Amino acid sequence: MKVRPPRRHHTVPCLYLGRFRAAGVGGKHAQIWAFDAKDGATRLASVTNECVERDFYASVETILAEELDTPDISSLLDKIESGGAFALTRDKIGWVIYYVAFQLARTPSFREIANHMFRAVGQSQPRHVSEHLMMMVLTANSIFAELCPMKLLVVIAPPGSYFITSDCPVAYGPLLDGDTESHGLRHDVVAFPLSPKTVMLLSNDFPTQGYLEVGSTSAPKLEDVVRNTNRLIVRRCDRRLYSDHQHAPSDLKLDFPLERFRRTTQNLGDGFTRVCDVLTSEVP
């Protein structure tokens, strides 16, 4: 008897969400605190039941699980957290950056953005999963090319502070107070929280790369970096925020429904636009 592939597809890997599992919560399965961006409802959720879409990838989730959503990637993220980012080979760092690029391109909101752009140029929207998958892979490759030259800054949250994540865990935009307009990936800061204590930041504008933590020369600015990174995550979430804490950081001052929940488009930068230019001439 032929085994049917699973139809519940994770748009954010369980291995990644498990890095934010709720502190002090027992039970057989990893759980995480989820905050609804529409109404602010908070609940304790199973990691395996979050960021799930029915028939989102067709049979491709098995390939993703074998190639990207792996313990090997999780091990690389652990090494970056523990201070070993710059001891990794260029290939391994590149693999992590590709993981970030693909995560940006594999969410339902990405599909929504792509459909919006197809409508804007008067083209038929992709109708089949295979067409969406082609667009997802091409865009991930283009985003990867934009991220690779950027400088990497790993930020360690000081005691009493922590990072959150979301159903769109790769966030991008200005990291300055009061500036919320994105100008495209190459002009923004790209943030990918690795855990409640650590975030990877990528930018062309960083003066240097390395680790930013208590005891470093920029330590007094750490609280601002953590707060502004979390605000970036909030602005880019699709529907849910996730944390190991039952309450979101108080300095976020969340006002539901969140601004991102009302927004229908995002600017992914020149790379995404170039891919869509190609696809609008190829996808029927």
Q: How far is CA 23 from CA 44, 132, 172, 207, 244, in A?
A: 11, 37, 27, 35, 6
- Residue identified by tokens 């009061």 is 178
Taking only the tens place, the pLDDT of each residue in 39-63 is 888 999 999 999 998 878 766 666 6
| pTM across the whole model | 0.86
* Predicted local distance difference test score (pLDDT) of residue 196: 96
Burial of 17 (0-12, 13-18, 19+ CB in 10 A): buried
> Does residue 188 have a pLDDT over 80?
yes
Least confident range from 190-194, 199-203, 216-220, 254-258: namely 216-220
* Predicted local distance difference test score (pLDDT) of residue 268: 52
Q: What angle do CA 114, 266, 182 make, to 5 degrees?
A: 145
- Residue identified by tokens 């909101």 is 109
* Predicted local distance difference test score (pLDDT) of residue 60: 64
Count CB atoms within 10 A of the CB of residue 278.
12
* Predicted local distance difference test score (pLDDT) of residue 81: 94
Token couple for 176: 């300055």
CA distance linking residue 141 with residue 100, whole number of Å:
11
* Predicted local distance difference test score (pLDDT) of residue 1: 45
CA distance linking residue 93 with residue 91, whole number of Å:
6
* Predicted local distance difference test score (pLDDT) of residue 279: 47
- Per residue, what are the HEC states of 107-157? CHHHHHHHHHHHHHCCCCCCCCHHHHHHHHHHHHHHHHHHHCCCEEEEEEC
Least confident range from 53-62, 146-155, 177-186: namely 177-186
Mean pLDDT of 197-203: 96
**In the chain, % of residues over pLDDT 70:** 75
Count CB atoms within 10 A of the CB of residue 78.
15
* Predicted local distance difference test score (pLDDT) of residue 126: 67
Token couple for 85: 């980012």
Which residues are CB-neighbours of 99 under 8 A, at least 6 positions away?
68, 73
Which residues are CB-neighbours of 33 under 8 A, at least 6 positions away?
22, 42, 43, 44, 45, 242, 243, 244, 245, 246
* Predicted local distance difference test score (pLDDT) of residue 67: 75
* Predicted local distance difference test score (pLDDT) of residue 84: 94
Taking only the tens place, the pLDDT of each residue in 114-141 is 777 666 666 666 667 677 777 788 888 8
Which of these, 230, 221, 222, lies nearest to 251 by C-alpha position? 230
Token couple for 118: 């197809």
- Please answer whether residues 47 and 30 qualify as being in contact, where contact means their C-beta atoms are separated by less than 8 angstroms: yes
Residue 241: which H helix or E strand, with range?
strand 240-243
Mean pLDDT of 268-274: 52
* Predicted local distance difference test score (pLDDT) of residue 178: 54
Taking only the tens place, the pLDDT of each residue in 86-120 is 999 999 999 999 999 999 888 888 877 777 766 66
